[in-house]
Structure 1
Amino acid sequence: MESQVSRYRRAQGSTFFFTAVLADRSSTLLVDHVDRLRRIYRTIQQRRPFETVAICILPDHLHAIWSLPDHDVDFSSRWNLIKSGFSRGLEAGPPSISKLKKREKGIWQRRYWEHAIRDDADLERHVDYIHFNPVKHGLVSRVRDWSLSSFHRYVDQGVLPADWGGDMRDVAGHFGE
């Protein structure tokens, strides 16, 4: 039987998993302004190349796996450019004194989560986590129903079947007696 791990081709260079979160966790800013986010993301990707191995944009946060060019681990400047580019021109709530001192608008949480991908099994776990995240958050009952995800690219490339992740409507209410 073929190993599940072989589904994903690990890119060259350093590979990292990220979670970037809005300051207001009840916000839907990322999906409301997804075209702006895509435009800024593409611009930064062209200026400072990296491969997006997987991505999912949710209302208040996003997950991504990037593979950086060999000998390049400067993901922080890329994230700073994406976050500031997205925020520029958007209205934010009243900033704190701390945010004013740092010239921050307060749209994003200051930090983001990063994790260096260790091996192919780790990559597979994180790609699966990213693709299943809209179901986990109750936004859809099937992975394929969330359009703001690289899942559809994986299906188009034959890496994953369209019904990957199942349908949560089939399991809801069928636990216990």
Structure 2
Amino acid sequence: MSYNDALAGRCSLPGHIYHLTVCTRYRQPFFSDWQIGRLVVRELQHVQAYLDVQSLAWVLMPDHLHWLIQLNETTTLARTLHVFKGRSAKTANHYLGRTGGLWQKGFHDHAIRQDENLQQVARYIVANPIRAGLVRRVGDYPLWDAVWL
């Protein structure tokens, strides 16, 4: 467990699966512009490869991200989100011609228990745009992915 995780009361367990939620600063809908969303998705994919964490499912909503992720043996939740937030903020701010925070401080995490159906959690995540009234079908929303395709 890292120092930052300990301060936040978090325990990052290697190999464990977590549902993470990260909100934009002041819940600003930066990613209503899908071009910005695609830039952030590229950073999400970079962080996945760089830290060797496995993305199982994710959806980038206009003002937040849901991410189902499995940690590896060497990284923590805090490190993963620190790298992602930093890289994505730099990229999005450059595109937007702005400076300052893109994401709220902190994040919400839910450790997936053994009795939870992982694919059901993934379906809940990718169906967020439907529940928000943004689209009628998951396939109509461009900013999501899941390993079960």
Superposition deviation, residue 125 in structure 1: 3.5
Structure-1 residue corresponding to 2:134: 139
Structure-1 residue corresponding to 2:84: 82
Letter in 2 for 1:116: A
Q: Deviations over 1:119-140 (max 9, x none)?
A: 2534234212102100111100
Structure-1 residue corresponding to 2:63: 60
Structure-2 residue corresponding to 1:14: 16
Structure 1 residue 47 corresponds to structure 2 residue 50: yes
Structure-1 residue corresponding to 2:4: none
Structure-1 residue corresponding to 2:125: 130
- State the distance in 2 between where 1:88 and 1:144 align: 29
How big is the alpha-carbon RMSD for the aligned residues of Structure 1 and Structure 2? Answer: 2.2
TM-score using structure 2 length: 0.75
Give 1 or 2 for the bigger CA radius of gyration. 1
Superposition deviation, residue 72 in structure 1: 4.3
- State the distance in 1 between where 2:58 and 2:76 align: 19
Structure number with the higher helix fraction is: 2
1:34 pairs, out of 30, 34, 37, with 37
- State the distance in 1 between where 2:49 and 2:138 align: 29
> Does the CA-based 8 Å contact 2:25-2:101 persist in structure 1?
yes
- State the distance in 2 between where 1:124 and 1:67 align: 14
- State the distance in 2 between where 1:142 and 1:36 align: 23
Q: Higher relative contact order at CA 8 Å, sep ≥6: structure 1 or structure 2?
A: 2
- State the distance in 2 between where 1:138 and 1:126 align: 19
Structure 1 residue 25 corresponds to structure 2 residue 27: yes
Point out 4+ residue stretches in structure 1 off by more than 3 angstroms: 29-32
- State the distance in 2 between where 1:86 and 1:73 align: 18
> Does the CA-based 8 Å contact 1:14-1:73 persist in structure 2?
no
- State the distance in 1 between where 2:16 and 2:23 align: 22
- State the distance in 1 between where 2:139 and 2:18 align: 24
List gaps (5 residues or longer) in structure 2. 1-13
Structure-1 residue corresponding to 2:11: none
SS in 2 for 1:78: helix
SS in 2 for 1:111: coil
> Does the CA-based 8 Å contact 1:14-1:72 persist in structure 2?
no
